[in-house]
Amino acid sequence: MSLPFLPFAKPTIDEPTIAAVGEVLRSGWITSGPKVQAFEKALSDYLGGRIVRTFNSGTCTMEIALRIAGVGPGDEVITTPISWVATANVILETGATPVFADIDPITRNIDLDKLEAAITPRTKAVIPVYLSGLPVDMDRLYAIAAKHKLRVVEDAAQALGSTWNGKRIGAFGDFVSFSLQANKNITSSEGGFLVLNNAEEARLAEKYRLQGVTRSGFDGLEVDVLGGKFNMTDVAAAIGLGQFAHIDAITAHRKELARHYFACFGSDFESRYGAQLPVADFENSNWHMFQLVLPERITRAAFMEKMMEKQIGIGYHYPAIHLLKLYRERGFGEGMFPVAERVGQRIVSLPMFNTMSKDDVVRSVETVKSVLG
């Protein structure tokens, strides 16, 4: 008898949330309205009262942050090659030039020494990514930004519930962008939100979110910037609110699962199997993913196929962005960021989701060991 398929990620929507969505659908107001406002308020409260605006994706959230920061043609923005391609695409969308800095082989996040070395007089902003929810050294990041007068757009898409020295990611810093896409720790089906610094930025965010429009009085309407169509619906906000109610329990459960992963792999796993475990951080990371870097002796495709045969889903987050065709056409290529290139070919994401059990972890680890053994 074979066990059921264990996916690498899976959203779970509880019954009260499904009921809340039903209420929105019956209410006569299904686009942006009271649920969006309530969600923005709840997120702001969680992040120490900082201003929050919601959008319909984490991608447009970052693009809007770059626009508010005044990033455009002629500017350079530094980011990591190991992220979802959205992180670099939004730089291209503004007309600015993406500049990559290689990653740290241990954290798999952008190497801050290399980030600092990549700064030029044209650098306007940096986009650090907290892969799998593990932040970079936030003190160092903001020291570099202050020294070189750079804006920071944190791609915290995976880091809701993560912390730095006891402070929540998003509760401090410059622009902080989160995603609520279906596979994130909490979801609104699709969506994102941005933490901003002041009312002026929030007004601009609202304009970019909806066609550049400012309304006043009964029939006043003005457009003075080019905005798009990026608003979150009340249907999505109702899902987000229902999910957000469990954020602390979700983060705690994922930390438990991660601890169990380490216990099951055992202290000799890396030396015996040649694979690399993630950083064992149970303080700051929200454990959005549990990622291994595979040894040289097996290809990722072969590993994924063998795991799949044994009913274990495996993800890969992410191939190096600079080797994708769109970026090769802009002058990037092999050998430029060797650590990212190696990790981008060998990194895999093991099952990790909110309703996963410790028995699932045991099964996942035993299967990894049998495939690598």
Ligand X SMILES: *Cc1c(COP(=O)(O)O)cnc(C)c1O
Active-site residues, by number, are 184
1-9, 83-91, 160-168, 209-217 -> range binding ligand X (CB under 6 A): 83-91
Total interface residues for ligand X by CB under 6 A: 14
**Long-range contacts of 256-263, Cβ-Cβ distance < 8 Å, separation of 24 or more:** 256/358, 257/287, 257/290, 257/352, 257/356, 257/358, 257/361, 258/282, 258/285, 258/287, 258/290, 258/352, 260/358, 260/361, 260/362, 261/290, 261/350, 261/361, 261/364, 261/365
Q: 132 to 191, contacts with ligand X by CB under 6 A?
A: 155, 157-158, 179, 181
What is residue 132's DSSP assignment?
G
Closest residue to bound ligand X by CB: 58
Minimum CB–partner distance for residue 27 and ligand X (Å): 25
Our finding on whether 84 is near ligand X (CB under 6 A) is yes
Our finding on whether 110 is near ligand X (CB under 6 A) is no
Cα(281)–Cα(93) distance, integer angstroms: 34
Cα(323)–Cα(96) distance, integer angstroms: 19
Our finding on whether 240 is near ligand X (CB under 6 A) is no
Q: Which is nearer to ligand X, 58 or 173 (CB)?
A: 58
Minimal CA–CA distance to 104: which of 342, 319, 340? 340
Minimum CB–partner distance for residue 359 and ligand X (Å): 27
- Distant-in-sequence, close-in-space partners of 59: CB < 8 Å, separation ≥ 6: 86, 89, 90, 179, 192
Single residue of 32, 43, 53, 58 touching ligand X by CB under 6 A:
58
Our finding on whether 57 is near ligand X (CB under 6 A) is yes
Our finding on whether 349 is near ligand X (CB under 6 A) is no
Single residue of 128, 135, 170, 192 touching ligand X by CB under 6 A:
192
Cα(187)–Cα(247) distance, integer angstroms: 11
Q: Which is nearer to ligand X, 82 or 368 (CB)?
A: 82
Our finding on whether 8 is near ligand X (CB under 6 A) is no
Minimum CB–partner distance for residue 157 and ligand X (Å): 3
Residue 221 structure tokens = 């309407």
Which residues are at the interface with ligand X (CB under 6 A)?
A: 57-59, 83-84, 86-87, 129, 155, 157-158, 179, 181, 192
